[in-house]
């Protein structure tokens, strides 16, 4: 049994507190081009990273690390790596899909004052980790929870976040000196914003739409084709 002195009341939030949580969730956006040049102070950045560090992690392994990139020179090198991968990605689409892809602004590496690479140390829990005995990916999933924590905290601070996924893994490892044993989970751009899209930008620009929730809820077992 847990030590009672380590327990706290699990009271529900007040109505205003609940509304604030859901507001952060529903108004969070993937920001690409709305960043302001205003610097993000160390105090604010530390609050965001502390929110990330308080994410749930399977087996309490806390597998994450955060590489902070600020200098224009470093961000330019990373943008060049993105641009090479992005040109490759564009050729993978055809017809109007390719032209739509090329018209999209997919990153804010040079515009956002802070860039952040979030990694997962897959050795941190040891050879046999609690909760990973039958699914070794739980450490990566835990790291994604840390990213979501940071993203929601950033929304509350008026800071936009953009997730840049178009990179060659080897380029990021080379530029940021990341060892092979470390998994690169996310490359994020952070900065203050004045405006956000009311709906996801890719929905506004016709790339995709939000699926109806009722189509995604199954009762008791998988529904549809295997």
pLDDT tens digit string along 168-214?
999 999 999 999 999 999 999 999 998 888 998 888 888 899 999 99
pLDDT reading at 226 higher than 60: no
pLDDT tens track for 130-177:
878 788 899 999 999 999 999 999 999 999 999 999 999 999 999 999
Dist. CA 174–CA 60, nearest whole Å: 30
Per residue in 60-119, pLDDT (tens digit) is 999 999 999 999 999 999 999 999 999 999 999 999 989 888 888 878 999 999 999 999
> Where do the DSSP E strands lie in 23-123?
64-69, 114-121
In angstroms, what CA-CA distances link 213 with 30, 60, 148, 152, 208?
A: 20, 31, 20, 21, 15
Confidence of residue 2 (pLDDT cuts 50, 70, 90): low
Better-scored residue on pLDDT, 52 or 34: 52
Mean pLDDT of the chain: 92
Partners of 186 in the β-ladder: 118
Domains of the chain are 34-210 (3.40.109.10)
Angle at 185 between CA 176 and CA 98, to 5 degrees: 95
Q: What is the mean pLDDT of residues 37-63?
A: 96
Structure tokens at 16: 């205003």
């Amino acid at each position: 049994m847990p030590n009672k002195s380590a327990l706290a009341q699990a009271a529900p939030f007040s109505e205003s507190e609940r509304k604030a949580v859901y507001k952060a969730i529903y108004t969070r956006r993937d920001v690409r081009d709305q960043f302001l040049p205003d610097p993000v102070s160390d105090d604010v950045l530390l609050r965001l990273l502390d929110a990330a560090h308080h994410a749930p992690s399977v087996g309490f392994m806390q597998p994450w690390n955060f590489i902070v990139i600020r200098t224009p020179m470093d961000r330019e090198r990373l943008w060049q790596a993105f641009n090479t991968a992005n040109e490759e990605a564009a050729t993978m689409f055809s017809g109007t899909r390719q032209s739509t892809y090329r018209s999209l602004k997919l990153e804010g590496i040079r515009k956002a004052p802070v860039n952040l690479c979030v990694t997962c140390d897959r050795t941190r829990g040891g050879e046999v980790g609690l909760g990973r005995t039958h699914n070794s990916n739980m450490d990566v999933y835990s790291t994604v929870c840390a990213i979501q924590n940071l993203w929601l905290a950033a929304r509350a601070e008026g800071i936009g976040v953009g997730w840049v996924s178009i990179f060659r893994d080897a380029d990021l490892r080379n530029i940021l000196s990341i060892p092979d044993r470390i998994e690169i989970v996310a490359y994020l751009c952070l900065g203050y914003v004045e405006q956000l899209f009311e709906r996801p930008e890719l929905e506004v620009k016709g790339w995709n739409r939000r699926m109806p929730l009722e189509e995604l809820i199954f009762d008791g077992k998988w529904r549809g084709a295997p």
